[in-house]
Amino acid sequence: MEILSRHAAFGGVVLFCRHDSKAIGLPMRFSVFLPPSAVVEGAAPHAALMYLAGLTCTEETFMAKAGAQRVAAELGLVLVAPDTSPRGANVEGESAHWDFGLGAGFYLDATEAPWRTHYRMESWVADELPTLLARELPVDAARLGLFGHSMGGHGALTLALRHPGRFRTLSAFAPICAPTQCPWGEKAFRGYLGQDLAAWRAHDASELMRGQSGPPYPAGILVDQGLDDKFLAEQLKPELLEVACAEVGQPLTLRRHAGYDHGYYFISTFMEDHLRFHARGLAA
Ligand X SMILES: N[C@@H](CCC(=O)N[C@@H](CSC=O)C(=O)NCC(=O)O)C(=O)O
Distance CA 4, CA 59 (A): 12
Q: Does 61 bind ligand X (CB under 6 A)?
A: yes
Q: Does 57 bind ligand X (CB under 6 A)?
A: yes
**Smallest distance, ligand X to C-beta of residue 60, A:** 10
Question: Cβ distance 51 to 62 under 8 Å?
Answer: yes
**Smallest distance, ligand X to C-beta of residue 56, A:** 5
Q: Residue 54 or residue 76: which is nearer to ligand X going by CB?
A: 54
Cα distances from 52 to residues 55, 132, 134, 150, 277, in angstroms, run 10, 17, 18, 9, 17
Q: Measured over all CA atoms, what is the biggest interatomic distance in the chain, rounded to whole angstroms?
A: 52
Q: Residue 66 or residue 137: which is nearer to ligand X going by CB?
A: 66
Distance CA 215, CA 143 (A): 19
Q: Residue 55 or residue 77: which is nearer to ligand X going by CB?
A: 55
Q: Does 121 bind ligand X (CB under 6 A)?
A: no
Cis preceding-peptide flag for 218 (omega within 30 of 0): no
**Smallest distance, ligand X to C-beta of residue 263, A:** 5
**Which segments of the chain does DSSP mark as H helices, in order?**
61-65, 69-75, 121-122, 129-136, 151-162, 183-193, 197-201, 205-210, 238-248, 264-283
Q: Does 69 bind ligand X (CB under 6 A)?
A: no
Q: Does 158 bind ligand X (CB under 6 A)?
A: no
The residue number whose beta carbon is nearest to ligand X equals 54
Spatial strand order in the sheet of 26-34: 2-9, 12-21, 26-34, 78-82, 46-52, 139-149, 169-173, 221-226, 252-257
Q: Which stretch binds ligand X (CB under 6 A): 5-13, 146-154, 190-198, 205-213?
A: 146-154
- Known catalytic residues are 150, 229, 262
Distance of CA 251 to the CA centre of its chain: 20
* Other CB atoms within 10 Å distance of the CB of residue 272: 16
Q: Which stretch binds ligand X (CB under 6 A): 36-44, 120-128, 143-151, 198-206?
A: 143-151
Q: Is the dihedral of CA 67, 120, 107, 263 positive or negative?
A: positive
Among 98, 183, 186, 283, binds ligand X (CB under 6 A): 98
Q: Residue 47 or residue 156: which is nearer to ligand X going by CB?
A: 156
Number of separate helices (H) and strands (E) present in the chain? 10, 9
Q: Does 150 bind ligand X (CB under 6 A)?
A: yes
Q: Residue 6 or residue 98: which is nearer to ligand X going by CB?
A: 98
| Contact string 250-279 vs ligand X (x = CB under 6 A) | ------------xxx---------------
Distance CA 7, CA 104 (A): 27
Q: Residue 150 or residue 250: which is nearer to ligand X going by CB?
A: 150
Q: Does 55 bind ligand X (CB under 6 A)?
A: yes
Q: Which stretch binds ligand X (CB under 6 A): 10-18, 118-126, 148-156, 189-197?
A: 148-156
Q: Does 151 bind ligand X (CB under 6 A)?
A: yes
Give the pairing type, strands 169-173 and 221-226: parallel
**Smallest distance, ligand X to C-beta of residue 210, A:** 23
Q: Does 52 bind ligand X (CB under 6 A)?
A: no
Residues near ligand X (CB under 6 A) are 54-57, 61, 65, 98, 149-151, 262-264
